[in-house]
Every structure is written in structure tokens, then in C-alpha cells.
């Protein structure tokens, strides 16, 4: 058996004759004349050292050996087509796995929208999310355990590329019965004397250190700080009347009863960035596709307009008033 004499063209021609039922119909489908098709089948039979087809007045009939060969030929052609398709999709960044490092409160912001949009656009690609601290995330990127990561704070690294994709304003989360709840805008100076619930307790440095730095820049020292693990815990304690918290815009989606979100004064420059990080030497098409979606869905935003926050604050106040009225037995 001379396998080197068989190529994919022989297999495709043979399968076409079988599936079309005759040499004439197969030749029409393949856009060739019958003599070249006949020669290709004869070459195939010679290489296989077996008769595969018997020509009859009304078509062609498979021999027993032909039935076996037809089954295997179809499998080979399907595997080849699949290999070509998968290779093309991989080269164009449409298949593969993106391992994404995130931080705890990231689930309230743009990252869920990004991953959902990426998977909708490239359904053959897989996205895996891993929650980890800043130091662990950077190490995982360097060790190629992560494809890309998200973190709050920009940091220059020789082997990593950081891109600021979103800027969020920091808000004060407070109980709507708090004396400051009627304010449309608050300042760091005004809340420094109130008990503060800040997060995360660990790892450090992190968002909590960023918040404390904002106070120091204004020559302020918070009177009392309670450290907790994450933003849901902080907002839950605020809802219970245990102090105030400072949270980014994305955390406003935590709509707990009795909690209002009031923006900080622009003069305090209280903002926090969301950055996407990847290895500088990673030129994979899949990473490129993912970054395209990041830039589309989380473009770098300017500070939110105070008026928009004021309108939202008024809406929160009205909602709270409605709840109070509904609870009134009169």
C-alpha cells in the first residue's frame, strides 16, 4: 500500500462519488469532467490495493472495502476541516482561554459586563476569573498563570503594561437617618470626625490605604476607623447605623435598605482608577480581542457630574420617604 500516493483530493473525490451516487453527478458537483475524476479514483484504489467502487449503468456501488474506506475517509476530512477551522479561530483570537485576575469588589463594576460581552462575542473562547490581591495578581501575570488582570491603582512595572480604563468617583455611604444624609455633597473634612467603616483589612496596600491617603493630603486624620474585609460588609454595617463608608461609584449598585450614597466634593479629588494589566511581551490574538472589548465597554471616564449624583441622591431620598410612609400604620 502506497500511502504517499494518497492526498486529501483523492479522499474528497471518492466521498463525492459515494454521496452523489454516480461519477457523473460527482463530476458536476466538483466542477471537473468525468475522465480526471475516474483517474483519481483509480489511483486511490491502486494505492489502497482494493476495489472501492463498482460502476453500474445507473451509478456506482460501494464494495465492502469501499464502505470501510468511505467511513474512514469522511472522518479524516472532518478532522482536517476541524483542524483548519480551529487553527483559523485561534490565530484570529476567537478561541482559547483567558485567565483573568480580579479583586473582590470588582464584581460590582465594569468587569462583569466586560466578561459577559467578550463571551457573547466569542462564544468559543473561555473566561476564568480568579480573585486575588494585588501582589499575588502581579506575580501570577509574570508566571503566566494569568492572561490579564484588573487592579485599582496604576503602577509602573518594566515587564507589565498598565492601562487606565475607568475613573470612578468616591462616594460616602451613610444611613439615611444620619445627620449628614440631607447633604447633596460631602467633604472629607466634614466626615473625618465620624466613625468610618473602611475596607479591605488585607492585603495591604490596597483601597483602604488610598482612602486614608486622601485624608492625609487634606491634613486630616479620621477619628475612628473600623476595618472590614470587603465592600458588602462595609455597606451592611452602614445600613445598621455603624458609621460611614467611602465607596467607588460601582458599589452604588449595593442598594441596601436605609443606605444613601452622597458624592464627595470635587475639591477633595476623591477618585479611584480601574486599570487593566497584561504582560508587555504577550502579543496573542486572544488577548488583543479581550482588550478590544475592555476599551469598548470601560472607556476612561471623567469625573461624574455632580448634578447626576444630586439627582440620584434626591431619588434615593424619595424612595426612603415612600418606605417610611408605607410603614406608617396611619
d(CA 21, CA 59): 6
Q: So what's the pLDDT on residue 58? A: 84
119 with 127: CB under 8 angstroms?
yes
Residues 119, 78 within the same domain = no
Q: Is residue 330 part of a domain?
A: no
In angstroms, the Cα distances linking 287 to 50, 82, 99, 174 are 50, 23, 10, 40
Residues 101 and 59 reside in one and the same domain: no
What pLDDT sits at residue 324? Answer: 41
Distance CA 321, CA 173 (A): 18
Q: Residues 75, 172: one domain?
A: no
- The last residue of one of the domains, among 60, 91, 122, is 91
Give the Cα separation of 86 and 90 in Å (integer): 6
Cβ-count burial 140-176 (b if 16+ within 10 Å, e if not): bbeeeebbbbbbbbeeeeeebebeebbbbbbbbbbbb
Alpha carbon distance 327, 330 (integer Å): 9
Per-residue pLDDT, 300: 54
Q: Is 53 found in the same domain as 106?
A: no
Residue 74 φ then ψ, to 5°: -60, -45
Question: What CA–CA distance (Å, rounded) separates 208 from 203?
Answer: 10
Specify burial of residue 73 (Cβ count, 10 A radius: 0-12, 13-18, 19+): buried
The predicted pLDDT at position 303 comes to 30
Q: Can you give the pTM of this predicted structure?
A: 0.66
- The CATH number for 162's domain is 3.40.190.290
158 CB-side CA count, 13 A: 0
Separation between Cα atoms, residue 42 and residue 321, nearest integer Å: 88
Total domains in the chain come to: 2
Whether 139 and 51 map to the same domain: the answer is no
| 238 part of a folded domain | yes
Domain span holding position 177: 97-324
Distance between CA atoms of 289 and 300, rounded to whole angstroms? 18
Distance between CA atoms of residues 103 and 205, nearest Å: 13
Say if residue 101 is in the same domain as residue 75.
no
Of 29, 62, 91, which residue constitutes the final position of a domain?
Answer: 91
In this structure, the answer to whether residues 201 and 313 fall within a common structural domain is yes
140, 130 Cβ separation under 8 angstroms: yes
- So what's the pLDDT on residue 130? 93
- Picking from 27, 58, 91, the residue at the C-terminal end of a domain is 91
How many CA atoms within 13 Å lie on the side-chain side of 34? Answer: 6
Q: What is the pLDDT of residue 220?
A: 96
**Residues 197/318, Cβ–Cβ less than 8 Å:** no
**Three-state secondary-structure class, residue 251:** helix
As to burial, measured by CB atoms within 10 angstroms (0-12 exposed, 13-18 middle, 19+ buried), residue 307 is exposed
Task: To the nearest 10°, report the CA torsion of 149, 150, 152, 154.
Answer: 50
- The reported pLDDT for the residue numbered 310 is 38
* 10-residue stretch averages of pLDDT, the chain, 330 residues long: 76 92 91 92 91 89 92 90 80 85 83 93 93 89 95 84 91 95 96 95 85 96 94 94 94 91 94 93 94 84 35 47 39
Residues 77 and 223 in one domain: no
Amino acid at each position: 500500500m502506497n500511502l504517499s500516493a494518497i492526498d486529501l483530493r483523492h479522499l474528497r473525490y471518492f466521498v463525492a462519488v459515494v454521496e452523489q451516487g454516480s461519477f457523473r453527478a460527482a463530476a458536476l458537483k466538483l466542477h471537473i469532467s468525468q475522465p480526471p475524476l475516474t483517474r483519481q479514483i483509480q489511483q486511490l484504489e491502486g494505492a489502497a490495493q482494493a476495489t472501492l467502487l463498482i460502476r453500474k449503468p445507473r451509478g456506482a456501488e460501494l464494495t465492502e472495502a469501499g464502505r470501510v474506506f468511505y467511513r474512514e475517509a469522511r472522518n479524516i476530512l472532518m478532522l482536517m476541516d476541524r483542524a483548519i477551522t480551529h487553527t483559523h479561530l485561534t490565530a484570529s483570537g476567537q478561541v482559547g482561554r483567558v485567565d483573568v485576575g480580579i479583586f473582590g469588589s470588582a464584581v460590582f463594576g465594569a468587569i462583569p459586563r466586560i466578561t459577559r460581552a467578550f463571551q457573547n462575542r466569542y462564544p468559543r473562547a473561555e473566561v476564568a476569573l480568579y480573585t486575588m490581591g494585588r501582589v499575588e495578581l502581579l506575580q501570577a501575570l509574570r508566571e503566566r498563570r494569568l492572561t490579564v488582570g484588573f487592579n485599582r491603582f496604576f503602577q509602573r512595572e518594566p515587564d507589565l503594561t498598565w492601562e487606565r480604563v475607568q475613573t470612578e468617583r468616591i462616594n460616602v455611604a451613610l444611613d439615611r437617618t444620619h445627620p449628614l444624609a440631607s447633604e447633596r455633597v460631602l467633604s472629607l473634612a466634614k466626615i473625618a470626625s465620624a466613625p468610618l467603616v473602611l475596607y479591605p483589612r488585607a492585603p495591604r496596600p490596597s483601597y483602604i490605604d488610598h482612602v486614608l491617603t486622601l485624608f492625609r493630603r487634606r491634613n486630616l486624620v479620621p477619628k475612628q476607623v473600623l476595618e472590614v474585609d470587603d465592600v458588602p460588609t462595609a455597606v451592611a454595617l452602614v445600613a445598621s447605623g455603624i458609621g460611614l463608608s467611602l465607596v467607588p461609584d460601582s458599589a452604588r449598585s449595593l442598594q441596601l435598605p436605609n443606605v444613601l450614597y452622597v458624592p464627595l466634593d470635587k475639591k477633595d479629588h476623591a477618585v479611584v482608577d480601574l486599570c487593566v494589566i497584561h504582560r508587555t511581551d504577550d502579543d496573542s490574538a486572544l488577548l488583543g480581542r479581550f482588550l478590544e472589548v475592555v476599551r469598548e465597554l470601560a472607556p476612561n471616564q471623567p469625573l461624574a457630574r455632580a448634578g447626576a449624583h444630586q439627582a440620584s441622591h434626591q431619588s434615593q431620598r424619595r424612595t426612603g420617604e415612600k418606605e417610611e410612609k408605607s410603614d406608617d400604620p396611619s
